[in-house]
Amino acid sequence: MSSTLPITLLAFLITLGLVVIVHELGHFLFCKIFGVYVKTFSIGIGPKLVRKRWGETEYVLSAIPFGGYVKMAGEGMMEEIQDTGTWEERKYPLGTEEGNAEAAGMDDHIPPERHFHSKPAWQRLLVFVAGPLFNVILAYVLYTGLVWSSGLTTVPFTTIGVVKTDSPAAVAGFRIGDRITAVNGQEVADWGRLEELLLPPELRKLKAVPEVRVTVEREGAALDLDLQPAWIDTSGFWSVGLEPWNTTVGLVQKQGPADRLGLERGDVILEIDGEEVTSFSAIVRLIHDRADREVEVVWMRDGAIMRGMVTPELKEIAPGQSVGRVFMEPYFGYEKVSFAQACVLGWDRTVGTIRITLQTLGDFVRRKLGLDSVGGPLRIGQAAGEMLRWSFSHLLYFVAFFSINLFLLNLMPIPVLDGGHVMFLLLEVVRGGKPVPERLQAIATQMGLIFLLLFMTFVVVLDVWKVTGH
């Protein structure tokens, strides 16, 4: 753990820093657009470590990195909640008119029309939702940029590694080791293109995928086989029962078991514990079943046969489900896409992440997931560190995922969170422009704050237990 601690801390700071800065920047920019006077822009909460005044705003780096805030003039009780130091700490430079007013705890020097509460309800609403909205924008920009820079992953093989028993492929006569060269006369060079031709996306929805003629190379000779894809009612997917022969090593996580074994990208795994493997799914199955046990791995590199022993680490992949892992990926190729395609794919991934996160939150509310599925700062840092040990791109994907989570959590109608502010504002509109009594807001906000503090305490304790095993 000690050897990975610097990477974990760096990844944690990058993740929180990006997400929090962008979130608070959303609030800040909309304040500026609507002419709201911003007193403080803080990254982090608690005691102020670094501060610098530019113009009317003090920019602060605070001690506790779990959040941040934009302190606006005329925000009412929220100003008192955000203030964490003494009046002496909050003042403007001494000897100025603004400094004397601020030191006295007054906003008399700020024009009334620049107070937050003086702005129309729709402007205040946009200020509140701007932070979460910017988190969605961050995720979209990251997803789009990552897809555009690296392209879509492909499996650059068409040799068959698995033919499932009683599947359409087995019925058609396919064998392990056959290399597929064409589908209905169209040449194929990777598994992704093969699946498109076997199961055309536009026909999958119609449940009317026709029979296809597949040309394979077997023992140096060409052979045509007729394949009829089947609809599987239990899974709700089409199936042909084929998997590629891909035992080639792709990305290897730094400082993981596979890395310590000496595996490198491009190595071809031949055997696991004496059992020949022809697919990555077979490798995964064998490794998963051998947690905390020494496993012999035989692989080929540049024509030379190599072997070594590795101990898969026990890793929790779902609440109550742990398996052995050596932390390596299968080999992938990359197909470049245009910027326009990247924008579409980035949006699809953003929407998909929102949908999955909402489904997970729903499962949690319906108690399909237990409290042990909740991750706090320790497990967030641990996950970020693991992603960075894979690659910087993996970390950015995690940042996008985490940013979507923050977007949804911040919109929950809990006082102190942005969703709580929106709730009070909507009640104000329903009441014909009459604000919710500040005393009632104060009580609700204090209750919300106590709830969040208790919940965070519970999550941190659970984190410690999960991470350390104590």
What is residue 117's predicted lDDT score, i.e. its pLDDT? 87
What is residue 80's predicted lDDT score, i.e. its pLDDT? 53
* Cα angle 233, 236, 242; round to 5: 95
What is residue 458's predicted lDDT score, i.e. its pLDDT? 66
Lookup: tokens for 143? 């997803």
Q: How far apart are CA 350 and CA 362, in angstroms?
A: 18
What is residue 83's predicted lDDT score, i.e. its pLDDT? 52
Q: Which of 4-13, 24-33, 177-186, 300-309 has the lowest mean pLDDT?
A: 4-13
Each residue's pLDDT tens digit, 89-119 = 433 343 344 444 443 445 667 888 999 888 9
Q: Which phi and psi angles does 289 have, rounded to 5°? A: -80, 0
Each residue's pLDDT tens digit, 188-232 = 999 999 999 998 877 767 667 789 999 999 999 999 999 999 887
Work out the mean pLDDT of the chain and round it to a whole number: 86
Which residues, 6+ apart, have CB-to-CB distance to 462 below 8 Å? 371, 372, 374, 376
What is residue 156's predicted lDDT score, i.e. its pLDDT? 94
Each residue's pLDDT tens digit, 58-69 = 999 988 777 888
Do 229 and 213 meet the contact criterion of CB atoms below 8 Å apart? no
Q: How far apart are CA 437 and CA 444, in angstroms?
A: 11
- Residue 225's Cβ-side half-sphere holds a number of Cα atoms within 13 Å equal to 25
The confidence band for 467, taking pLDDT boundaries of 50, 70 and 90, is low
What is residue 371's predicted lDDT score, i.e. its pLDDT? 60
Q: Can you tell me which residue has the tokens 């996306």?
A: 201
What is residue 210's predicted lDDT score, i.e. its pLDDT? 86
Higher pLDDT, 66 or 351: 351
Kindly compute the dihedral angle of the four CA atoms of residues 105, 108, 110, 115, in this order, to the nearest 10 degrees: 80
Q: How far apart are CA 62 and CA 308, in angstroms?
A: 49
Residue ranges and CATH numbers for the domains of the chain are 119-151+337-470 (no CATH), 154-243 (2.30.42.10), 249-335 (2.30.42.10)
* Predicted confidence (pLDDT) at residue 415 exceeds the cutoff of 80: yes
Q: What is the largest CA-CA distance in the chain?
A: 91
The confidence band for 440, taking pLDDT boundaries of 50, 70 and 90, is confident
Q: How far apart are CA 424 and CA 436, in angstroms?
A: 7
Q: How many other β-carbons are positioned within 10 Å of the β-carbon of residue 339?
A: 10
What is residue 231's predicted lDDT score, i.e. its pLDDT? 84
Could you tell me the CA-to-CA distances from 465 to 244, 329, 369 in Å, in that order? 40, 29, 18
Which residues, 6+ apart, have CB-to-CB distance to 377 below 8 Å? 12, 66, 459, 460, 463
* Predicted confidence (pLDDT) at residue 77 exceeds the cutoff of 70: no
Q: How far apart are CA 200 and CA 239, in angstroms?
A: 12
Reading phi first (left if > 0) and then psi (alpha if -120 to 50, else beta), residue 55 is in: left
Each residue's pLDDT tens digit, 117-176 = 889 999 999 999 999 999 999 999 999 999 999 999 999 999 999 999 999 999 999 999
The two beta strands, 186-187 and 249-252, are unpaired
Length of the chain: 470
What is residue 33's predicted lDDT score, i.e. its pLDDT? 96
Q: Which amino acid is at 299?
A: W
